[in-house]
Amino acid sequence: EDQVTQSPEALRLQEGESSSLNCSYTVSGLRGLFWYRQDPGKGPEFLFTLYSAGEEKEKERLKATLTKKESFLHITAPKPEDSATYLCAVQANSGYALNFGKGTSLLVTP
């Protein structure tokens, strides 16, 4: 059975304090690993797709990396507007439905 575990559950950073969020996964054949950002009361917003180990993607202060067992979302010099819940999901070769982790709630204080 596919499993996705995100850590930590919650993270509080000061503005400018870089850190990383972890997503550990087990899946029977990975089609893709996805990162989303979700603001309170809103639908998830797509950030990145990673397809194979060693792949990296960047967008502004965010960088996602992938190994065969986990993915990291690195946040460099975060700003208060980066505060949100970050969701990780895997998609197996057997289908297109995404299996989500429980998310990491990030709070960046000025």
Partner 1 sequence: DGGITQSPKYLFRKEGQNVTLSCEQNLNHDAMYWYRQDPGQGLRLIYYSQIVNDFQKGDIAEGYSVSREKKESFPLTVTSAQKNPTAFYLCASTGRGRGNTEAFFGQGTRLTVV
State the residues that interact with partner 1 by CB under 8 A: 31-32, 34, 36, 41-46, 49, 51, 87, 89, 91, 95-103
Q: With respect to partner 1, which residue has the nearer C-beta, 40 or 110?
A: 40
Quote the least distance from Cβ 35 to partner 1, whole Å. 10
Report the Cα 53 to chain-centroid distance in Å: 15
Long-range CB pairs of 50-57, under 8 A, 24+ apart, other chains included: none
Return the number of other C-beta atoms located less than 10 Å from residue 61's C-beta: 14
Quote the least distance from Cβ 91 to partner 1, whole Å. 6
Instruction: Please choose, from the candidates 8, 4, 14, 3, the residue with its C-alpha nearest in 3D space to the C-alpha of residue 79.
Output: 14
Q: With respect to partner 1, which residue has the nearer C-beta, 75 or 89?
A: 89
Quote the least distance from Cβ 20 to partner 1, whole Å. 20
Q: With respect to partner 1, which residue has the nearer C-beta, 43 or 54?
A: 43
Instruction: Please choose, from the candidates 76, 2, 75, the residue with its C-alpha nearest in 3D space to the C-alpha of residue 33.
Output: 2
